[in-house]
Structure 1
Amino acid sequence: MEIFPAIDLKEGKAVRLYKGEMASAKIYGEAFEFAKKFQDLGSKWIHIVDLDGALGGEPKNLEVIEKIRKNSSVKIQIGGGIRDEQTIRRYSDMGIDRLILGSAALKDPVFAKEMARKYKIAVGIDSKDGKVALEGWVKSAEIDALDLAKEFKGSDIQALICTDIQRDGTFEGINLDLTLELARVSDCFCIASGGVKNEQDIYNLNEKFEEHAIRGGVIIGKAYYEGRIDLQKVIKKFTPNI
């Protein structure tokens, strides 16, 4: 199972939200410093979300993202405000390893699949009460999360990122049922996000993945920043060669 330490960017700082509410943002420090720390802990990936970009519809934290890319050797996946091919190409040229389409994939799944044939693309499905949220989670669509996931079965997307907004930043535990269902209907590499509370939560997810023969990973955010998880221990467990 892949481990994805997370950096949510707001005005260049690493922050965490509660249930996706921007007003709840808690600042933890400089994003660049956390990126260095995750690399030092042995992480293979960093998951970055440009929160300002998600709300504004275009990248807003390019300077700090570029600094992280130039000064780290880990793989980076980025989401937030990626709505067109020009932005995808810009990030790809910067050396970003995977681009996450959220609102763009919801509004135009065909576009997302076309981009996945040309670039390294993940699709973010952010679920609120079973429906897909968009544009920085401030709006909800009348589209069922499972129906959207089905659109990408057999496509070239590299991963499906499954977020339960109602659990994000709450320490209530991963929504296993949602994650497993999205993985089942899409047959994609599935990354669970939202609600991670402790190390056992991650081990339980891994057991379910193995039980159902699912390829996937987990995004670890607030649980790390609040000291509830020994990230180095988790990374070593799932990356034995460290």
Structure 2
Amino acid sequence: MIVFPAVDILGGRCVQLVQGRRDTATIYGDPLQCAESWLSQGAEALHIVNLDGAFGSSKLNAEKITDLITRTGVQTQLGGGIRSLDDARSWLDCGVDRVILSTFAADDPDCLTILSDEYGSDRIMAGVDAMAGEMVTHGWEKPAGNFLEWADLFIKKGAGSLLYTNVSVEGLCRGIDPKPIRELLSVVSVPVVVAGGITSVADITLLREADAAGVVLGSALYSGKITLREALEAAG
């Protein structure tokens, strides 16, 4: 199971948010320095989020992110504000291994088919952001229906993997809710990376045993509630 330290970028700085709210940002410094720190501790992949993109300014941070991808040279998956085919193509062309499409995929599921045909399904990840069993889009503000049905649709349209985020526990550092994760993993045929609430070795062990393909570590990692070494050992 792959451990993806999160490098969330807002205003050119690496930050962590609580429940996706901009006003909760804790600043951790330069994104490249944060990324290199995690890599020096054993990480082999990064989860990058262009938060300015998620808040409506997709072109902000592009230079920093491109530089980070080029200089680290590790496996990367990137999301945040990808709202068009051109947005997705530009990131894929600059070297991102996998783009994460959430609101765009919900608004236009055929985008997954188009991009999968062009770049290969393994480079196209659909974001399944859920709260109380319901998919939420547009900055986690718009309910969109049963998250399992959306996951099935995304796979049928060409997504080669899924990023499942439990919005209810995201950023709180209080642990995961295993029930919806198990439900999702039991019905899908593609790799699933899990985010949201992952705080402890026990959380990671549970996800590994449930056959999750990866975990994203954000607030718990940056706040020191879990170390990267502990996470990597638990991930096996």
Quick check: 1:123 aligned with 2:105? no
Segment drifting more, 44-53 vs 228-237: 228-237
Matched, 1:235 2:235: no
- Structure 1: which 5+ residue stretches go unaligned? 210-214
Q: 219-228 or 34-43, which moves further after superposition?
A: 34-43
How many angstroms apart in 1 are the aligned matches of 2:113 and 2:177?
Answer: 26
Per the alignment, residue 187 of structure 1 pairs with: 189
- Of 74-83 and 108-117, more deviation after overlay is shown by 108-117
Residue number in structure 2 paired with 1:101: 101
- Provide the secondary structure at the position in 1 that maps to 2:55: helix
Partner of 1:65: 65
Q: How far 1:135 moved relative to its partner?
A: 2.4
Tell me the CA shift for residue 130 of structure 1: 2.1
**Unaligned stretches of 5+ residues in structure 2:** none
Q: Please say if 1:217 is aligned against 2:214.
A: yes
Partner residue, 2:24: 24
Q: How far 1:6 sits from its partner (Å)?
A: 0.5
Q: Secondary structure at the match of 1:147?
A: helix
Cα separation, 2, equivalents of 1:185 and 1:141: 22
- What is aligned with 1:3? 3
Q: Does the 8 Å contact 1:105/1:123 carry over to 2?
A: yes
Q: Secondary structure of the equivalent of 2:168?
A: coil
Corresponding position of 2:154: 152
CA offset at residue 237 of structure 1? 5.2
- Hey, what's the Cα distance between the residues in 1 that align with 2:144 and 2:234? 40
Pairing of 1:127-146 with structure 2 (within 5 A)? 127-137=130-140, 139-146=141-148
Q: Give, in whole Å, the separation in 2 of the partners of 1:23 and 1:71.
A: 30
Paired position in structure 2 for 1:14: 14
Percent identical residues = 32
Summarize deviations over 1:84-126 as a string: whole Å, max 9, x none: 1211221122111110001011112122232122221101111
State the secondary structure of the residue aligned to 2:210: helix
Q: 8 Å contact 1:115–1:121 — kept in the other structure?
A: yes
Structure 1 CA distance for aligned equivalents of residues 113 and 183 of structure 2: 21
CA distance in 1 between partners of 2:138 and 2:54 (Å): 6
Displacement, 1:227? Answer: 0.4
Q: Which aligned pairs between 1:21-100 and structure 2 lie closer than 5 A?
A: 21-56=21-56, 58-100=58-100
